[in-house]
Amino acid sequence: MAKTVTLSIDSRGIARITIARPERKNAFDAALIAELAATVRQVDPAARAVVLQSEGDAFCAGADVEWMRGMADYSLDDNIADSKALAAMFRALYDLEMPLVARVQGAAIGGGAGLVAVADIAVASTEASFAFTETRLGILPAVVSPYVVRKIGPARATALFVTGSRIDAKRAHEIGLVERLAEPPDLDAAVGRVLDAIASGGPKAVNTAKRLVREVEGRRIDEVTDLTVKRIAEIRVSHEGQEGLRAFLERRDPHW
């Protein structure tokens, strides 16, 4: 059976995970979910960033209709097992140490919009669209909800969840689901600029900065003061921190 998820890495250490099921709009089924989760866990820990992308005109259409039809008679235990697999896939993406960049060329629906939410930075085509349509099927965007609420906040998540309304790329950018927009011919260049910016930073500093946001999120300043003092002190005395400072003072590019 042909693989529907592939992993590659370039000379700069940029990993790319590609969902290749364009004939089904890159929609999820049990096999794709398992394959994507397994592929994420194969990413080299030394990778500078991971790009999540897909083939065809849709980014990801959510759950595959045929797969959903087959689940119609699932028991509660069957549904719990299936949902755990989906949750594990999203958690694997969330747990990546390095930045996760989503390249969104088209529609991202349901779980597909969840992939956009779990990404650290989403770069979308102006022709992309987004929706959490689960309630229109009498179900819930439950597994993706922690990532969506974290990304866009409870009020906007509520509005999108209860209406199931589709929004365009401009609105997705306005509410923070998408970080950057690009015209379709410029999408790859826009993703490239994000990757260039990530690669210009120290590898350890970039990954620690990503983790730092999660460590301080939702906590009072006095609760995290000691943590932030420790983080900056540790990175300053590290080899990478010392090299970055020397390069700045010597007006040269750092060696990393």
The tokens describing 198, both together, are 């990530």
| Residue 135: predicted pLDDT | 95
Strand partners, 124: 104, 181
- Find residue 168's DSSP bridge partners: 129
Spell out where the chain has E strands. Answer: 5-9, 14-19, 49-54, 100-104, 108-109, 121-125, 129-131, 167-168, 180-182
Q: Residue 63 above 90 pLDDT? A: no
- Strand 121-125, strand 100-104: pairing: parallel
Flag whether pLDDT at 148 surpasses 70. Answer: yes
Distance CA 66, CA 205 (A): 44
Query: Which of 5, 33, 23, 3 lies closest to 110 in space, CA to CA?
Result: 33
Lowest mean pLDDT among 99-103, 148-152, 181-185, 244-248: 244-248
**Do 127 and 134 form a contact (C-beta atoms < 8 A)?**
no
What whole-number distance in Å separates Cα of residue 201 and Cα of residue 221?
Answer: 26
Check whether 195 has a pLDDT greater than 70.
Answer: yes
8 A C-beta contact, residue 16 and residue 51 = yes
Predicted local distance difference test score (pLDDT) of residue 144:
97
Residue 79 has pLDDT above 90, yes or no: no
Separation between Cα atoms, residue 118 and residue 214, nearest integer Å: 13
β-strand pairing of 49-54 with 167-168: unpaired
How buried is residue 2: exposed, middle or buried, by Cβ count under 10 Å (0-12/13-18/19+)?
Answer: exposed
Residue 70: pLDDT above 90? no
- Count of all residues that appear for the chain in the document: 256
List the strands of the sheet with 180-182, edge to edge: 5-9, 14-19, 49-54, 100-104, 121-125, 180-182
How far is C-alpha 110 from the chain's CA centre? Answer: 14
Region 137-148 average pLDDT: 95
The pLDDT assigned to 66 comes to 81
d(CA 8, CA 51): 10
Given this model, what pLDDT does residue 106 score? 98
What is the reported pLDDT for 1? 59
Q: What is the mean predicted confidence (pLDDT) over 214-241?
A: 95
Contact 111, 60 (CB under 8 A): yes
Helix (H) or strand (E) holding 213: helix 203-216
Instruction: Give the confidence band of 73 by pLDDT, cuts at 50, 70, 90.
Output: confident
Q: How far apart are the first and last CA of the chain?
A: 40
